[in-house]
Amino acid sequence: MTSSFRIPAAPMTSPVARAVSAAARRMYGRVPDLVPVMWHHPKVLRSVLAWERRVGTWDTLDPHLKSFAVMASAASIGCSWCLDFGYYLAHDEGLDERKVREVPRWRDSDVFTPLEREVMAYAEAMTATPPTVTDEQVASLREALGDAALVELTMMVAVENQRSRFNSAAGLASQGFSDVCELPLAAAPTMESQ
């Protein structure tokens, strides 16, 4: 897939833009398509990057559960860019790639624990429009994770909804970040297959 850029990429020609592009290439091996799209509004880009740095410091929730929740949300929305990049990040963080690649089809996979399934069901329920989260889901996750980790889980799913919805609306598609991973990423379900 290639990005269709409903919001076109802005030229990254100024000295600051070239510095941002160079930093992104150092971090990820290439410039994420998101950067030139957001470059139309540098204040928004700076705010998003600062927020993402802060989000990256949250560490109460188990990183596997966080990755599964984020990717389940992205798969629900159908953001192939988010799945591709999420798989790359999971690989980079040393998470279990065999499980991560199964997230888009977690209901049919036998690799997940009951808690992991609960977390992904919660992520999907939060991502539904309108949300379909139940009191029972929250009570069960509170008991399993504790309040602090549940708050982090809930906010991570909300953050991924923001990311995935922006990227999907902007026309961003898988950029090949996951090509460096050991195992190929399972295709995101399409709206027709859900």
Bond from prior residue into 130 cis (ω within 30 degrees of 0):
yes
Classify 57 as helix, strand or coil. coil
* pLDDT in the model for residue 183: 57
* CA gap 86, 176 in Å, rounded: 11
Res 2: pLDDT: 64
Could you give the CA distance from residue 175 to residue 150 in angstroms, rounded to a whole number?
31
What pLDDT score was predicted for residue 63? 96
Residue with tokens 């192939």: 80
Torsion sign over Cα 45, 50, 55, 59: positive
User: Per residue of the chain (194 residues), what is the pLDDT tens digit?
Assistant: 567 889 999 999 999 999 999 999 999 999 999 999 999 999 999 999 999 999 999 999 999 999 999 999 999 999 999 999 999 999 889 899 889 989 999 999 999 999 999 999 999 999 999 999 999 999 999 999 999 999 999 999 999 999 999 999 999 999 989 887 765 554 444 434 43
51-64: b (≥16 Cβ within 10 Å) or e: eeeeeeebeebbeb
Residue 22 half-sphere exposure, CB side, CA atoms within 13 Å? 7
150 contacts 122 by C-beta, under 8 angstroms: no
Give the distance between the most distant pair of CA atoms in the chain.
53
CA angle (116, 87, 148) in 5-degree steps:
45
Q: Does domain 63-193 have CATH number 1.20.1290.10?
A: yes
Residue 139: CB atoms within 10 Å: 10
